[in-house]
């Protein structure tokens, strides 16, 4: 199946959500709905961290300045030891968990991975 772009985000610049880029500007609810449609669910924060732990901190793209103002094409850099691409620094990724300080309620969900314009210490 094909998902159509949300009308809510039609005003975004042409540099976003191209065919080989990660999808950005989606809400937690949109991400959860998509995962459910695919027969899955968002990872917990722990699951995301376990998947990302294969990242090489000295890898080709870690700690290098990058901010063209939009995400890089996916798969441009080497996969981590878990066979996963772009776990750090291309686009923030939603998790299933609530942000700790909200006590499991409220509006704040945990995101991981940083984005194309995140400072290195946020990754």
CATH of the domain at 53: 3.90.1580.10
pLDDT, tens digit, 9 for 90 and up, residues 39-70: 999 999 989 988 888 655 544 445 455 556 66
Q: Look at the block and give the residue holding tokens 């959500």.
A: 17
How many folded domains does the chain comprise? 1
Distance CA 62, CA 77 (A): 10
Structure tokens at 111: 């995101």
Query: Could you give phi then psi for residue 93, rounded to 5 degrees?
Result: -125, 130
**Which structural domain, as residue segments, surrounds residue 78?**
1-123
| pTM, 2 dp | 0.69
Burial class (CB in 10 A: 0-12, 13-18, 19+), 102: exposed
33 pLDDT above the threshold of 60: yes
């Amino acid at each position: 199946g094909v998902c159509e772009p949300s009308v809510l985000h039609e005003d975004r610049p042409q540099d976003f959500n191209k065919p080989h880029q990660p999808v950005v500007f989606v809400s937690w609810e949109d991400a959860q709905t998509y995962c459910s449609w695919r027969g899955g669910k968002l990872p917990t924060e722990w699951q995301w961290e376990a998947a990302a732990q294969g990242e090489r901190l000295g890898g080709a793209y870690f700690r290098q300045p990058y901010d063209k103002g939009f995400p890089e094409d996916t798969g441009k850099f080497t996969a981590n030891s878990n066979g996963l691409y772009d776990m750090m620094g291309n686009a923030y990724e939603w998790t299933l968990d609530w942000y700790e300080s909200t006590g499991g309620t409220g509006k704040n969900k945990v995101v991981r991975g940083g984005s194309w314009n995140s400072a290195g210490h946020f990754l």
